[in-house]
Amino acid sequence: MNVLVTGGAGYIGSVCVEELINQGHSVVVIDNLQEGHREAVLFEAVLYEGDFGDKKLLKEIFEAYKIEAVIHFAAETTVEFSMTDPQKYFINNIVNGITLLEVMKDYGCKRFIFSSTAATFGEPEYTPIDESHIQKPINAYGESKLMFEKILDWHHIAYGLKFNAFRYFNAAGASAKLGEDHRHESHLIPIVLKTAYNVRLDKAVRGLKVFGRDYPTTDGTCVRDYIHVVDLARAHILALDNLNSHPNSKYNMGNGKGFSVLQVIEISKKVTGVDVPYEFAEKRPGDPAILVASSDKFRKETGWSPLYPDLEIIVKTAWEWHSKYPDGY
């Protein structure tokens, strides 16, 4: 299949491109390289550097390639910044997304896989969170993604768009070639591993900050559900076929098991051999205590199951990548 991947130079997008290529698909990537890296796009894919909301560029791509499906990763994604500059999130995640859907409609492309987020749920009322859980986002990032999920519903009803939306919980880990390299790193596992790497080099390191110690969890730190990036990527490719039997479905994607921040630090110690220094700090605004997904719906409907459900393996793959590319791409 000819697949257009927006944000295909980013963390999850680039691994998805790798899986698509491994499975014999032809891939065109559009990425403005604001967060993504040119080096993360495998040479077998065609890379267009630009905005996915640029109608002229999109038309050029749709004219040049017979695009049969779009996997849409590109977005503004940092919760913290979404609270100080929400307009940017609404413009990129909604307005530009509508332009993309419009061009798809003009060219008769009806297959769409969307990167949504656990942040569409807000403060959980129960865990694990399944698809029937109420969606009440507590930040503008989650709100923008939820709005776009609703836009997809209407495109399905009115124009016959077939879509699957994935609410990611915490993507982590790496493939052999591709890993996590954000320009502004805010995620726990890469921060822990960077700290471990620097401790090993005897660099003077500042301990990592553990945000909050009195959450209602077993050890007082936040609990998250970590899913291997390759398992997520595989899910997107399964979804391309799943569109035929489930043309308007939304799925929560995680491993169904939660780990606290302190447990992640402990597992990282086992993997790296480094006792990572940390200190407790203020809670981070907008962090729910526990976020664990039920992915039963996607498992049942597609037969998907994670190849790497074990957090130690997930951290190990991230560590191997980080040790190979300590300065990122």
Q: Catalytic site residues?
A: 141
224 binds ligand UDP (CB under 6 A): yes
Q: What is the gyration radius of the CA atoms in the chain, in angstroms?
A: 19
Q: List the interface residues with ligand UDP, window 294-313 (CB under 6 A).
A: none
Phi first, then psi: give them for residue 145, nearest 5 degrees.
-70, -40
Q: Does 170 bind ligand UDP (CB under 6 A)?
A: yes
Does 209 engage in binding with ligand UDP (CB under 6 A)? Answer: yes
Q: Which residue has the tokens 């798809």?
A: 104
Q: Spell out the alpha helix ranges (H) of 117-173.
A: 140-159
- Are 188 and 264 contacting, i.e. CB atoms less than 8 angstroms apart? yes
Using the rule CB under 6 A, is 222 a contact of ligand UDP?
Answer: yes
Choice from 188, 196, 239, 314 touching ligand UDP (CB under 6 A): 188
Neighbours of 106 (CB within 10 A): 12
d(CA 258, CA 209): 20
What's 23's DSSP letter?
T
Tell the smallest beta-carbon distance from residue 169 to ligand UDP (Å).
8
Alpha-helical segments (H) within 23-72: 55-64
Residue among 284, 285, 312, 323 that touches ligand UDP (CB under 6 A): 284
Number of other CB atoms surrounding residue 273 within 10 Å: 10
**Residue 208 in the binding site for ligand UDP (CB under 6 A):** yes
Using rule CB under 6 A, residue 210 touches ligand UDP: yes
With binding defined as CB under 6 A, does residue 287 bind ligand UDP? yes
Minimum CB–partner distance for residue 190 and ligand UDP (Å): 8
Q: Is 261 in the site for ligand UDP (CB under 6 A)?
A: yes
Q: Is 191 in the site for ligand UDP (CB under 6 A)?
A: yes
Q: Which stretch binds ligand UDP (CB under 6 A): 9-17, 126-134, 198-206, 209-217?
A: 209-217
For residues 155 and 129, what is the distance between their CA atoms, to the nearest angstrom?
26
Chain position carrying tokens 């909604």: 94
* Interface segment toward ligand UDP; rule CB under 6 A; list 16-24, 25-33, 208-216, 307-315: 208-216
Is residue 4 within 8 Å of 70, Cβ to Cβ?
yes
Can you give the binding site for ligand UDP, defined by CB under 6 A? 170, 186-188, 191, 208-211, 222, 224, 261, 284, 287
